[in-house]
Amino acid sequence: MSEVSKGAATAHGTGWWSLAGWVLIALGFFGGGFLLILEVLLEAASYLGALYILFALVVAVGVLLHGVAFVLRRRIRDPERHESPVRVRFTLDLAKRSHIYGIVSICLTSLLVLMLLGFGSYKSYRATESVSFCGELCHDVMQPEWTTYQTSSHARVACVECHIGEGADWFVRSKIDGLRQVWAVTVDSFSRPIPTPIHNLRPARETCEECHWPQKFIGYKEMVRSYTLSDEENTQHRLRMLLKIGGEQTGFMKGSGIHYHMLIAASVQYIAMDERRQDIRWVRVTRADGSISEFNDADSPLTEEEIATAEVRNMDCMDCHNRPAHQFKAPMASVNMAIEQGAIPRSLPYVKVQAVQALSKKYETTDEALVGIANDMRSYYREEYPQFLEDGNDDLARAIESVQAIYQGSIFPTMKADWSAYPDNIGHHYSPGCFRCHNENMESESGEHIFTTCSNCHLILAQGESIDDVNVDFRTGLDFVHPEDGSTINEYQDCVDCHTGGGGVYE
């Protein structure tokens, strides 16, 4: 084949390259514009942001094709000067009109591409960062977390503030993980309940501490609780205590109190035997003065080898505050609260027990549960106290309604999400919490324990039917009067041996 005909064939080819470029550019702009009009017309809070990026890329490829065509054309026209395929010599000549047009059109197209890209990224960013995207798009999957979030102290804190936080690397990581999650939802391969702890949750240092700085001294925090006993009268038993949260400060309570664990003054590490970190068997503390103690399970101590190969976790905020936004309250706790607030009438005999037991039953769906709760409670009162089913007495109807509302707000059978699936690590009443480490099993080589003295963590000020009068020694507080039988508990007892948060305590 002669030199000339080869050149002609390629020149013909460059025409196609240019044409394809034009088509892509037009397609990209048309698509972007169409999307924009669609959005304005539909006023859709759309998740289509990513499409803008796609269109911008289409335009960019179009421009690229033009560039290639340009280079090829010049090589063909003047093969002498462009013997190397990569080197194209080009002298800018502003006197030439075609060169000015060229520059202007390159600038304009790049600007438009950049605008499309920017707008698209912004739209997708806003959409995927929005609370409703996280909470509502995968409605069925996220319903438990979305519902509990809305009644939490952090209901005005966006999901991403805790789950992603600041910084590009976490942003990218979360988006990659997001794609995996979308896939899992699409093919229905996700686990129920969603397993916790979340392994790629951003460390507390970089999320919680953006708003709650650890140096903040909190001191004592008053806590008032109201319990209802299991008798016919639904007797009230109240408790008023000060939690010694402490924190960092010089002088009074220096580096002490519960927030000593904020790891300002010391660091705590531990090994858990289970995924959910409920079964802790080994703990090491490094104190401010540099002294170190290691505690091992006295009944079944971990061997040197097990310790060396296990995952050792540094304790942080999340080891206590693992439910700051999604607290699945135990039936005992929510029923106590509902009776205190009058939503469940205290006048209904044995309503505490009936309500807790109705909530503790297992159901497959929420609809089934709502019917089941109503049936169970009605049939109990029909047998035992039929007067509550008569016209004009709405106590039972109100109680049923409130119990159903509690169920809908804290138990999610299709996702298998409830208080037992997601134990709260604050406290020790319905789940082991603090007693995972502060117990009598955990022992150092010299026979020391991690303390279990009640008053190191809180001071009881008043308890019983009335808690208005306080007359205590603030160094020790009162011994806890156990509502079960009025005995005092002032030594370690594993509360979860009997208390599981559900109806089990009445068996």
Query: Rule CB under 6 A: which of 212-251 touch ligand HEC?
Result: 212, 214, 218, 221, 225, 227, 229-230, 239, 243, 245
Site size for ligand HEC (CB under 6 A): 93
Instruction: Scan for tokens 């159903």, then name that residue.
Output: 404
Shortest gap between Cβ of 57 and ligand HEC (angstroms)? 30
CA 87 from chain center: how many Å?
Answer: 55
Report if residue 326 touches ligand HEC, rule: CB under 6 A.
yes
Q: Nearer Cβ to ligand HEC, position 113 or 437?
A: 437
| Residues numbered 405-434 forming contacts with ligand HEC, rule: CB under 6 A | 422, 426-429, 433-434
Shortest gap between Cβ of 500 and ligand HEC (angstroms)? 11
Q: What angle do CA 247, 252, 256 make, to 5 degrees?
A: 35
Is the Cβ–Cβ distance between 376 and 358 less than 8 Å?
A: yes
In sequence order, what are the residues at sequence separation of 6 or more whose Cβ sits closer than 8 angstroms to the Cβ of residue 244? 220, 253, 256, 257, 258, 456, 457, 458, 459
Q: Nearer Cβ to ligand HEC, position 395 or 424?
A: 424
Report if residue 196 touches ligand HEC, rule: CB under 6 A.
yes
| Residues numbered 335-354 forming contacts with ligand HEC, rule: CB under 6 A | 336
Is the Cβ–Cβ distance between 285 and 292 less than 8 Å?
A: yes
**What are the C-alpha distances in Å from 113 to residues 39, 46, 70, 73, 481?**
19, 21, 20, 25, 72
- Segment interacting with ligand HEC, rule: CB under 6 A, options 79-87, 340-348, 358-366, 479-487: 479-487
Q: Nearer Cβ to ligand HEC, position 15 or 197?
A: 197
Among 116, 332, 377, 461, interactor with ligand HEC by CB under 6 A:
332
Measure the CA–CA gap between 139 and 445, rounded to whole angstroms.
51
| Residues numbered 23-52 forming contacts with ligand HEC, rule: CB under 6 A | none
| Residues numbered 74-103 forming contacts with ligand HEC, rule: CB under 6 A | none
Q: Nearer Cβ to ligand HEC, position 288 or 389?
A: 288
Shortest gap between Cβ of 448 and ligand HEC (angstroms)? 7
Shortest gap between Cβ of 336 and ligand HEC (angstroms)? 5
| Residues numbered 149-188 forming contacts with ligand HEC, rule: CB under 6 A | 149, 153-154, 157, 159, 161-163
Shortest gap between Cβ of 154 and ligand HEC (angstroms)? 4
**What are the C-alpha distances in Å from 379 to residues 163, 332, 403?**
45, 21, 15
- Segment interacting with ligand HEC, rule: CB under 6 A, options 26-34, 43-51, 405-413, 448-456: 448-456
Q: Nearer Cβ to ligand HEC, position 24 or 253?
A: 253
What is 83-150 written as a DSSP string?
A: -SSS-------TTSHHHHHHHHHHHHHHHHHHHHHHHHHHHHHHHHHSHHIIIIITHHHHHHHHHHHH
Looking at the DSSP bridge assignments, the partners of residue 247 are 256
Shortest gap between Cβ of 53 and ligand HEC (angstroms)? 24
| Residues numbered 290-319 forming contacts with ligand HEC, rule: CB under 6 A | 293, 315-319
Report if residue 123 touches ligand HEC, rule: CB under 6 A.
no
Report if residue 437 touches ligand HEC, rule: CB under 6 A.
yes
Question: Which phi and psi (to 5°) does residue 344 adopt?
Answer: -110, 120
Report if residue 381 touches ligand HEC, rule: CB under 6 A.
no
Report if residue 480 touches ligand HEC, rule: CB under 6 A.
yes
Structure token digits, residue 38: 């669609």
Shortest gap between Cβ of 397 and ligand HEC (angstroms)? 24
Shortest gap between Cβ of 343 and ligand HEC (angstroms)? 16
- Segment interacting with ligand HEC, rule: CB under 6 A, options 27-35, 43-51, 101-109, 196-204: 196-204
Secondary structure of residue 82 in the 3-state scheme: coil
Is the Cβ–Cβ distance between 467 and 386 less than 8 Å?
A: no
The two beta strands, 219-228 and 442-444, are unpaired
State the binding string over 257-276 for ligand HEC (x if CB under 6 A, else -): xxxxxx-----x-x------
Q: Nearer Cβ to ligand HEC, position 99 or 154?
A: 154
Shortest gap between Cβ of 361 and ligand HEC (angstroms)? 18
Structure token digits, residue 117: 């890209």
What is 350-415 written as a DSSP string?
A: THHHHHHHHHHS--SSHHHHHHHHHHHHHHHHHHH-GGGGSTT--HHHHHHHHHHHHHHHH-BGGG
Other beta carbons within 10 Å of 494: 14
Nearest to 123 by CA among 219, 50, 34: 50
Q: What angle do CA 194, 195, 196 make, to 5 degrees?
A: 120
